[in-house]
Amino acid sequence: MSRWLRRLGLTAGGLLTLLALFVAVAWGLTARRFGRQWTVEPRQVALSSDSATIARGRHLATAIAKCGDCHGADFGGQVMIDEPMMGRLASANLTRGRGGIGAAYTDADWVRAIRHGADRNGHGLMIMPSAEYAAMSDADLGAVISFLKTVPAVDREKPVRRINVLPRVLMTLGVFPPLGVESIAHDKAGTAVPPAGVTVEYGGYLATIGGCTGCHGPSLSGGGGGEPGAPPAANLTRGGIGEWTEADFITALRTGKRPNGTAIKEAMPWRSSGKMTDDEIRAVWAYLRSVPAKKFGEK
């Protein structure tokens, strides 16, 4: 018996040693990824102070890109994650107030952050959906930045970032997606944008920059989540909402209710998506109907 206990102890000790070694490797690899400086020369976009551009930027930032869902209704930033296993991550204060980036960021810095996923020093941004925003047209991106430059100043310091063991391990295993800056074709960002209209093509554009593919997956079959700890995203293909009508889809985004009357969880940003125009929602619906039917989570 003592021999078996000794063997069991040696096995357990070996496994713990391997686990500690893997954690150390994961910590080192992620530290290198977080510390890497990317050289991104953003393409200039036109900014404007005219009321029409500001209004367009406000609509894009609130209803399409949903900037306020992460950065707060006042765009002053907020804590996104604060858990012992995960660490602490907070979104940036986008305003010109104390603790904000608005006063320091140049036009190029704004483009680098939104379209390319890197801060002004070239470090990759976390939880920033730049992989989706990279598809945004120059005109739309310029409108968003023009609007953000007008938001009232908010004095709010960003808490110190802390990334604990679990997310580092999951990133190393590929469970968490890469940083946006790592997955963007930077030289092609925002170069192929369809004209606005109730079309499949424009609906696909809105679904992309609106984060639908970011949460529901490239095939829109669901299974992922927009943030760590979020419930699985739904299957938006005909395999998941095949019985829905366009009217059902509009109602779901406007009211947060499915056709059967059940509530859609707040992890789905329907309150922001519901601010889209009728034509924008109809375009997204047309796009969803064009996507091949998939089983839940199918690639």
- Share the mean pLDDT of the chain: 90
Measured torsion, CA atoms of residues 93, 99, 100, 101, in degrees rounded to the nearest 10 = -120
How confident is the model at residue 159, as a pLDDT? 93
| DSSP H or E stretch at residue 81 | strand 79-83
Read off the pLDDT of residues 226-250 as tens digits, 9 standing for 90 and up: 555 567 889 999 999 989 999 999 9
With 70 as the cut, is the pLDDT of residue 5 above it? no
SS3 content of the chain, % helix, strand, coil (to 5): 45, 5, 45
* pLDDT level of residue 20 (50, 70, 90 thresholds): confident
Does residue 49 carry a pLDDT above 70?
Answer: yes
126-166 per-position pLDDT tens digit: 889 999 999 999 999 999 999 999 999 999 999 999 999 99
Distance from the Cα of residue 229 to its chain's centroid: 14
Q: Residue 17 pLDDT > 70, yes or no?
A: yes
pLDDT at 205 over 90: yes
Reply yes or no on whether the pLDDT at 224 is more than 90.
no
Transcribe 216-253 into DSSP letters. H-TTS-----SSTTPPPPP--SHHHHTT--HHHHHHHH
DSSP 279: H
Closest listed residue to residue 105, CA positions, set 94, 89, 117, 91? 94
Instruction: Look at residue 235 in the predicted model and tell me its pLDDT.
Output: 92
Task: Report the alpha-carbon distance of residue 295 to residue 289 in Å, rounded.
Answer: 15
CA-based nearest residue to 45, from 131, 182, 137? 137
Under the banding of pLDDT at 50, 70 and 90, the label for residue 189 is confident
pLDDT at 10: 57
Q: Cβ distance 73 to 81 under 8 Å?
A: no
Q: What is the pLDDT of residues 70-100, one digit of tens each?
A: 999 999 999 999 998 899 999 999 999 999 9
Which pTM was predicted?
A: 0.89
User: Which pLDDT does position 7 carry in this prediction?
Assistant: 62
